[in-house]
Structure formats: C-alpha cells, structure tokens
Structure 1
Amino acid sequence: MAFTVETEDRTDVRDVTDRVADALPADADGACTVFVRHTTAGVVVNEPESRLMRDIEHAVGELIPDEGWAHDEIDDNADSHLRAMLLGGSVTVPVEDGELALGTWQSILFVECDGPRSRNVEVVVH
C-alpha cells in the first residue's frame, strides 16, 4: 500500500500516522514498515506537537548547513541528501489487531528535506 504526501516548504514535517493506520488491513498482526522511496526525505517516530515539529525542521538545518557541499555542483541539494540520511528512510512499528502499537506520545512523521514536492510513502505489513 502507498500514499502521497504533498509538502509546501523546503523542510516540512508532516504527521502521517492516520494515513499509515488507514493502510493497514483490519486483521493485521506483526510489523508495519513505513518506507520513503526518496533520497531527500525521511521518516521518524516522534511526538507530533507543533512546536517540536518546527524544532525538527530547525535542528536538521542546524546539523547540516545549506551550502558548501561538492554535490551542490550537480543539483544544489546535497544538504537535503545528508539530512535525509541522518533521519533514515524507514521505520518499523508493531501492529496488533490491525492497529499501530505506538507509545502514548508516538506518531509517524514524514520529514521533507528538499521540498516542496509530492512524495510517495510505502506501507508494508509483515
């Protein structure tokens, strides 16, 4: 199963938990892997509080500067690749009786690093 995320800014954090949950079969048990098929976006598990989501955007920008990278000579987005590499391209979450077994404050967050774009997110239950 897959769904699309539309982002509006160069760095953009979106809570996709409900969309992942909607992609699960009602009788699913096991694990759900959420995978982003892009080298300049990531997915993480964290709290979807709006100020924290802005902090995530700010933190990835502080950790990886916008400029000064060799890859920028090709398409000027090396920072996006490096930020996504730190975040990771997938998360795996337990599934019980068709429900994501996340902790109280946990959600699945999609993190855009090279937007705005239209991105595909894959959900696989195993």
Structure 2
Amino acid sequence: MTRTTFTVETDDRLTTVDVTDRIAAAVPDDLGSGTCTAFVRHTTAGLVVQEDEPRLRGDIESFLRDLVPDEGHAHDELDGNADSHLRAMLVGLDVTILIENGRPALGTWQSVLFVECDGPRTRTVSVTTVEDEDKRR
C-alpha cells in the first residue's frame, strides 16, 4: 500500500479541475494491478469520474447551482457557505479506480474531476493505492 497527497489550487467559488494525471502519477511504477482511491480532505469539495469537456464541466457547475441555491440555509448564519457543504455532499468525497498494468483503468472519455464548492482555495487530495493480493511478490 502507498499513500501520497497533492494540492489543487482553485480560482472560483464553484469550479471543476481535471486531476486525472495527478492521480495517475501517484500510482507506483511497479504496481501491476490493484485499486486506487482518491479522497478529498475537505467538507466543501469532492471528486467525480466524468468526461473532461469544458461545456460539460460548465453544465456540472450549473446543475449543482440549480440543485442547491446559494442562500437561504441555516448554516449561512455561521459561515455563509451552507450551499458549498450541500453541493459537496451530493458530489461525494472520493473515487476508487481499478489499476491495470500500472495505470488507472479509466474508460476512453473518463477523467477524474475535482469539484470545488467553496473556493477559491488550496485543497489537499490523498491517493492510496493497494496492489491485488495475487500480484504481490
């Protein structure tokens, strides 16, 4: 098992960032097959597997805004970011990806998108890889 972290810098309150290459770089070169889990260490951000196409990323952001209004939540009286917590809850904090031949086994159009719901910020993503038992030496 290996564990690494990387940071993501965001420049808007609600935005998406492709982190596929950073997750792939966290997979050890000698790992043949196994799993990789990426986890966001924040309550107002998340990760999804989706196509990295600019218009779709805009649609994802619009979808989250439509589902969760910016204002009108009880938590807003404390921090003013209840919408960010609720959006991140819908997105989810982690993704697990199969590793085959030392690389994430994503489909042709699949990418891992970091979803920022309370930016701009600097965020931390943890990546844990585990090699399949039958492949361990």
Q: TM-score, normalised by structure 1?
A: 0.98
Q: TM-score, normalised by structure 2?
A: 0.90
- How many angstroms does 1:27 deviate by? 2.0
Larger C-alpha radius of gyration, 1 or 2?
2
Query: Aligned Cα RMSD in Å?
Result: 0.6
What pairs up with 1:22-101 in 2 under 5 angstroms?
22-28=25-31, 29-101=33-105
- 2:28 counterpart SS class: coil
Conservation of the 8 A alpha-carbon contact between 1:60 and 1:83: yes
Amino acid corresponding to residue 2 of structure 1 in structure 2:
T
Percentage identity across paired residues of the two chains: 63
Structure 2 spans left out of the alignment, 5+ residues? 131-137
Give the structure 2 partner of residue 2 of structure 1: 5
The superposition leaves residues 46-74 of structure 1 with CA deviations (integer Å, 9 ceiling, x where unpaired) of: 00001101111111011000011000011
Which 4+ residue blocks in structure 1 deviate beyond 4 angstroms? none
Structure 1 spans left out of the alignment, 5+ residues? none
